[in-house]
Amino acid sequence: MIPEDKGLWSRFTRWAHQSLNLTEIADWFFTFTGLLYGELDRRLDLREAIPKALKKPVPKHINWLFCFGGTTFLFFLIQLVTGILLTLYYRPAPEAAYESVRHITNDVAFGWLVRGVHRWSATLMIIFVMLHMLRVFFMGAYKPPRELNWLVGTGLFMITLVFGFTGYLLPWDQLAYWATTVGTEMAGAVPVLGKFLLLIMRGGADVGGETLTRFFSAHCIILPIAIFFLLGFHFVILRRQGISGPM
């Protein structure tokens, strides 16, 4: 698998393969922190599962294109951590929201960084979920028996977009306000259901305080719970069926 050329990269990967035995490191770590592992293992028999998970072989045809899903998940974890940090100072009320975001950015230690990372990682998460979908599509990895995971994936894609849409309103500045006016008005153009969707999203005739609390609730409570369950399905199905074969 690892080509025997003199390239720096392949020398590095060979070294990593030979010297960094993940299974051994994990075993060493869990033995070293023995109390927890030992006591837990005596009751739950965990020692068997960890090497099994770590030793699961990676098929030969796997390449970097298969990493987009995992990268999307990494950005999600970053969103989770930075998002929770933001909620410590963010205040979801029309009188307070803008000022609290200003406070995070200018006064709180590293607030600019937490906010900036949340914003960049949100953008990158959307880019990578799209790359992931393109990979799955062009490799035909959605074909039976994997249709179900494609469906779960479309759900995840939509949740990711709605995360971005609802988060965008939270700073409550002019850009946020009018972007949400325009975005909800688009939902209002849906035949038959439009008026209803518009009301449900705005919580009133116009974008206002009710919209802000609604979007906050969606962004920080409803969507995280929904994405947690869908990610769970996505990964369990993936693990059960295995990664799709070579093209």
Partner 1 sequence: MPDNEKESRREFLARAATAGTAFMFLMSAGAAAFVAFEYILPPARSMDIANKPMLAGSVSEIPAGKSKELLYGNTAVLVINVKGEFKAFNAKCTHLGCIVKWSESKGVFICPCHNGTFDTNGNVVSGPPPRPLGRIAVQVKEDKIYVGGES
In the complex, the residues that contact ligand HEM under the rule CB under 6 A are 76, 79-80, 83-84, 86-87, 90, 101, 104, 115, 118-119, 122, 125, 160, 163-164, 167-168, 170-171, 219-220, 224
Quick one: which of 13, 21, 105, 181 contacts partner 1 (CB under 8 A)? 181
Is the Cβ of residue 78 or residue 187 nearer to partner 1 in the bound state? Answer: 187
Residue 173 within binding range of partner 1, rule CB under 8 A: no
Instruction: Please provide the DSSP assignment of 119-181 as one string.
Output: HHHHHHHHHHHHHHHHHHHHTTTTSTT-HHHHHHHHHHHHHHHHHHHHHHHTT-SHHHHHHHH
Residue matched to tokens 């965008």: 168
Q: Stretches 17-25, 42-50, 68-76, 202-210: which one binds partner 1 (CB under 8 A)?
A: 202-210
Number of other CB atoms surrounding residue 78 within 10 Å:
17
Quick one: which of 203, 222, 223, 233 contacts partner 1 (CB under 8 A)? 203
Quick one: which of 1, 205, 225, 247 contacts partner 1 (CB under 8 A)? 205
Residue 199 within binding range of partner 1, rule CB under 8 A: yes
- How far apart, in Å, are the Cα atoms of 30 and each of 52, 53, 229? 15, 15, 29
What is the C-alpha separation between 184 and 93, in angstroms, rounded?
19
Q: How far is the CB of 153 from ligand HEM (least distance, A)?
A: 15
Summary count for the chain: helices (H), strands (E): 12, 0
Which of ligand HEM, partner 1, none lies near 170, with the C-beta cut-off 5 to 8 A by kind?
ligand HEM
Which of partner 1, ligand HEM, none lies near 122, with the C-beta cut-off 5 to 8 A by kind?
ligand HEM
Distance of CA 166 to the CA centre of its chain: 15
